[in-house]
Amino acid sequence: MDRETKKIAKRLANKIIKEVGPAVREYAGTQLGGTEIKIGADGTPTSYIDQIAEEKIVNILKNADVLSYLISEEIGELKLGKGTKRIIKLSHELKRTDLTEEETPKFIFLIDPIDGTSNAIKEIPAYAISIAIAEVNQGRLATLNDVELGFVYNLANGNFIEAEKGKGCHLNNEKLIPSDNVKINKMTLGGFTKSGTSEASKLVDRARRMRVLGSVVLELSYVASGRYDAFLDLRGSRIIDIAAGKLILDEVGCIITDKYGHELDNVLSIYEKSIVVAANNREMHQQIIDILNDNQVDVIGKIGIISRIDQDKPILFSAKLIDYILTNGCEVVIEKQLSDKLIELRQNPKLNEIIEETKEIYPEIADMLDDIDFNIDYAKLSQDLFDFECDMATILGGDGTLLRAQSRLKPEIPIFGINMGTVGFLTEIEVKDTFNALHEILKGNYYKEKRTRLVVSHDNHDFTAMNEVVVMTNKPAKMLHFEIRVDGGIIEEVRADGLIVSTPSGSTAYSMSAGGPIVDPKVAGFVIIPICPYKLGVRPFVVSDDSEITVKLLKKGKSAVFVMDGQITEEADYEEEIKFKKSNKDAYFIRTSSKYFYEKVKDKLKEGGIETNNRCNNE
């Protein structure tokens, strides 16, 4: 926004606050003010006092000399100004390219008329109006990062906070300064936790004090002003509640993200919500994120190396990796098969030619293959995967290599995947980024991501799978007849070529190819997908991961095989049952990237699953 445009926006915001304040105070603490009159656009009950406040806002913007879009808690999304009022869907409106300059609104107002309505009704002095203003950029959706002005006015005591992007933030014309506390045990924490969240309970137990004020906008401003050290809402806050607060926190140097430490840049919409974690400084924020995700980092002192061994590229790269880790003062343990291959390669009289040829084929890692030290006793460092004892297992390969290794490693060993396969959805980084990532990990700049695993029980034997279990006929072109039970109740009888039971991690693998949904790894569930079912109405099921799934073969004379993660194959016969339930031991991945799951889906799951120019090289 230019200076003149900001003046107009500020003038409208101040007028809203000036008129809404007295109107709300008139009905605060009254029976009429607390009367519920409808359900608002956000799906929550609207009280009379809410409607009074919102009517004032709508009237001001309707009669303004400029056009504006309004997102408000009770009425939803409107286009207002120059005497007009029209209900719109903002996402559609912003994408229009047919509006003239005269028809295009100047501002997007995100307003919560009263945040803390219950407090206002009961005359508890903690309720406020929140106003965030973004400039309209027609032709694209607006996000939280487009907000340029933020105002929070405490309707109970008159305190007024205003923030301007790049210009700072003030409370009653005094600069806001957050606290400098970095110790969890001295922390004042505000906000809302969620029942059954053990990690949140750990955080609350470690904090010095916990406040539940009942007003998101005020509590976010309390972090900025030093009254709180941190605030979280694990229920999910509406974007209209956090838009002004985010700008206020940004302008004083506080940190506000989602539960996983990802930046908040949600689309501006009445429907958008986000879990919020805000803190006075980066050090405090990181401690909170680690506790909430059970990601307290450990010192990495010993690193295991596992690699695909069917190509020279990963074997050579593993040699460079071993050299790097030892040089940086860490211990190394190597999978025995890899150790044997390294020794074989070292003894090959054409070793230098193999290195040069590999550098020519893969120029992106050519520099990394210079000066490899092969004078290492690989045999002394080697060990069977089942016996690995290390702080982190580094796996060079694609998803198949990673799943093979994961099935043999102790589940408590966290995995760090370096993609040397085709897609590498489960891996963390591409090979070119290896040494930068390891440098950060050895400094402790990483987090652990937890992934659910399946326990598969059959014939008094238990197996585990991290991606999926596929049950199918051992004879091509023959159908099987399944009975599927969840917690003892029959949910389906189906004739099909096979059946997949998938974890969220496996939802982007065979499950997806068979028509199953893509499931965020944070979802606590399993997916059951019939493969080519005979019955038209059969569709995939998503069930709780607290449930036990039982699959029974009903066709006499037909047996089936079931395959765990493409690694382990077992047989099942007529009337035998295969049971699936959540393992009490999760898998853990070392993560260094803040890239969210859906970004990875878009990056990795391109047509064919591979980059066109790498198809030949990555087979």
3-state SS, residue 476: coil
What is the structure's pLDDT at 617?
A: 37
Half-sphere exposure of 430 (CA within 13 A, CB side): 12
Contact between 403 and 426 (Cβ < 8 Å)? yes
Q: Which two tokens stand for residue 443?
A: 């400094």
Q: Tens digit of pLDDT for each residue in 418-436?
A: 998 777 788 888 899 999 9
Spatial separation of the C-alpha atoms in residues 391 and 15, rounded to whole Å: 60
Mean pLDDT by 10 residues, the chain (619 residues): 93 95 91 86 82 94 96 90 94 87 92 92 93 89 94 94 96 95 93 71 87 93 96 91 96 93 90 92 91 75 94 94 93 95 94 93 90 92 93 93 92 92 82 91 85 93 94 82 94 93 93 92 92 88 94 86 92 92 92 73 63 39
What is the structure's pLDDT at 246?
A: 97
Catalytic residue numbers read 399
Contact between 276 and 268 (Cβ < 8 Å)? no
499: exposed, middle or buried (C-beta count within 10 Å: 0-12, 13-18, 19+)?
buried
Q: What is the DSSP letter of 214?
A: S
Instruction: Give, for 563, the enclosing helix (H) or strand (E).
Output: strand 560-564
What is the structure's pLDDT at 297?
A: 64
What angle do helix axes 312-327 and 434-442 make, rounded to 10 degrees? 30
Spatial separation of the C-alpha atoms in residues 53 and 22, rounded to whole Å: 10
14: exposed, middle or buried (C-beta count within 10 Å: 0-12, 13-18, 19+)?
middle
3-state SS, residue 573: coil
The domains found in the chain, sorted by start residue, are 3-175 (3.30.540.10), 188-292 (3.40.190.80), 302-451 (3.40.50.10330), 454-585 (2.60.200.30)
What is the structure's pLDDT at 73?
A: 80
Instruction: Give, for 161, the enclosing helix (H) or strand (E).
Output: strand 160-164
Whole-prediction pTM: 0.61
Residue 441 φ/ψ region, left for φ over 0, alpha for ψ in the -120 to 50 degree band, beta for the rest: alpha
Contact between 164 and 149 (Cβ < 8 Å)? yes
Q: Per-residue DSSP letters for 79-124?
A: EEETTEEEE--HHHHHT-----TTTS-SEEEEEEEEETHHHHHTT-
Q: For residue 423, give the nearest of 148, 608, 195 by alpha carbon.
A: 608
What is the structure's pLDDT at 583?
A: 94
3-state SS, residue 386: helix
Contact between 23 and 56 (Cβ < 8 Å)? yes
Q: For residue 446, give the nearest of 261, 253, 592 by alpha carbon.
A: 592
What is the structure's pLDDT at 606?
A: 66
Other residues' Cβ atoms within 10 Å of the Cβ of residue 172: 9
Q: Who contacts 510 (Cβ-Cβ below 8 Å, separation ≥6)?
A: 467, 468, 470, 500, 502
Q: Where are the alpha helices (DSSP H) in 122-215?
A: 198-206
Q: Which of 272-290 are b and which e, b meaning 16 or more Cβ less than 10 Å from the residue's Cβ? A: bbbbbbbbbbeebbbbbbb
Q: Tens digit of pLDDT for each residue in 109-118?
A: 999 999 999 9
Spatial separation of the C-alpha atoms in residues 381 and 333, rounded to whole Å: 5
Residue 336 Cα distances to 307, 318, 396, 489, angstroms = 10, 13, 14, 46
Spatial separation of the C-alpha atoms in residues 306 and 334, rounded to whole Å: 6
Q: For residue 227, give the nearest of 171, 303, 153 by alpha carbon.
A: 171
Contact between 134 and 148 (Cβ < 8 Å)? yes
